[in-house]
Amino acid sequence: MESIWVRGPTEFIMTKTNLFDLNYAALSAFLKAMGEPAFRAKQLFQWMHQRGVVDFNAMSDMSKRLRERLSETAELTLCTIDSEHIATDGTYKWVMRLSDGNCIESVYIPEDDRGTLCVSSQVGCVLNCSFCSTGQRGFSRNLTVAEIIGQVWIAVRRLSEANGEHDRRITNVVMMGMGEPLLNFEAVVSAMDIMMDDNAYGISKRRVTLSTSGVVPMMQRLREISDVALAVSLHAPNDALRNILVPLNRKYPLAELMQTCRDYFKVHGKRRVTFEYVMLDNVNDKPEHARQLVDLIGDMNCMVNLIPFNPFPETIYKRSKRDRIDAFWRTLEAAGITCVTRKTRGDDIDAACGQLVGDVQDRTTRSQSIEQRQIKLKEQLDAFR
């Protein structure tokens, strides 16, 4: 792998390779092209990800000549923490500044038996799901591998610094932050490879979860190359309602999506798909919706996460009442479907599900404001009811 020379105003400027953009296979190829033995990749990977060292000169078990060559041709560049927020329940939210001025958000959720990091894959989101603040704020671009794995790198170090001997470990990673992961396929898969690599973070493939709104062709492709856990943002039990809540459904309707979900873990009989279902008051939480959901997924090896809606400015939605959520849960459980109601975490720092917004330089061509789009949405829902 060679460095690239770019013509500047008066001279050629060498563009260095950011090694945080490379998974283990790519890093091995990079070093092989430099004439280095295979074991160097393991050494360098461990320095970067396990020891958190970003200065080639500090990598003491590598030769001086190699460190010099790496300094000339490569770099170790990450995003930086713009701000940190800690909720009363111990949830952390980091706003991370990217080199182009955009910001993304990552969230760490501590539990008694695990620590889950929610990672972003895009700056904003193009899908425009009506109940999600991220989608309402627009879309700028995909994140690079370095910007995705950098969220894990930063969170590991920051948690260690903040908690000292009471170390909070990241045991689970969910690609459920800003963006649709499957619309940034190559970078997300490469970053997940790094998360699961024993020479990096060593997270079990069963503890790395990719959440999608249902990009069917990419789900099929993911199944061919990875067996990470899968979560599907469902949110409605019929096409008419899902077309409003998740506009992607117009392209990949429920029949096609459900068949893809059934196929996903065929070779892994004990694995199951998780369906995410945000509970919206008087929208998708009625008894008939619960019965429709049973009919839709009742024959599948799956689990349902019921998510109390987390409000954001300008939204027309309200959180379902507790008794309505409980009744919905009972209907699913009675049908033999494993169902849990997710705890609302970090809502006092806008870190709860659907609340991440970052600071997005919107490159979409949306002509209407959020408020105007929410008014139009209300008209659609009124007509649907």
What is the set of active-site residues?
Answer: 105, 353
DSSP class per residue in 101-144:
S-EEEEEEEE-SS-EEEE---EEE-SS--TT-HHHHT-EEEEPP
DSSP class per residue in 293-333:
HHHHHTTSSEEEEEEE----TT----BPPHHHHHHHHHHHH
In 3D space, the residue among 213, 10, 29 whose CA is nearest the CA of residue 122 turns out to be 213
DSSP state of 362: -
d(CA 345, CA 325): 17
Burial class (CB in 10 A: 0-12, 13-18, 19+), 74: buried
Cβ 176 vs Cβ 209: under 8 Å: yes
Helical spans, DSSP H, in the chain: 24-33, 39-45, 64-73, 133-136, 145-163, 185-196, 216-225, 239-245, 254-264, 287-297, 322-334, 370-384
Nearest-10 crossing angle of helices 216-225, 185-196: 30
Position 121, amino acid:
S
d(CA 356, CA 275): 20
d(CA 152, CA 136): 26
In 3D space, the residue among 299, 298, 320, 323 whose CA is nearest the CA of residue 311 turns out to be 320
The helix (run of H) or strand (run of E) holding residue 85 is strand 80-86
d(CA 178, CA 175): 9
d(CA 52, CA 205): 22
The alpha carbon of residue 3 and the mean position of all alpha carbons in its chain are separated, in whole angstroms, by 30
Burial class (CB in 10 A: 0-12, 13-18, 19+), 178: buried
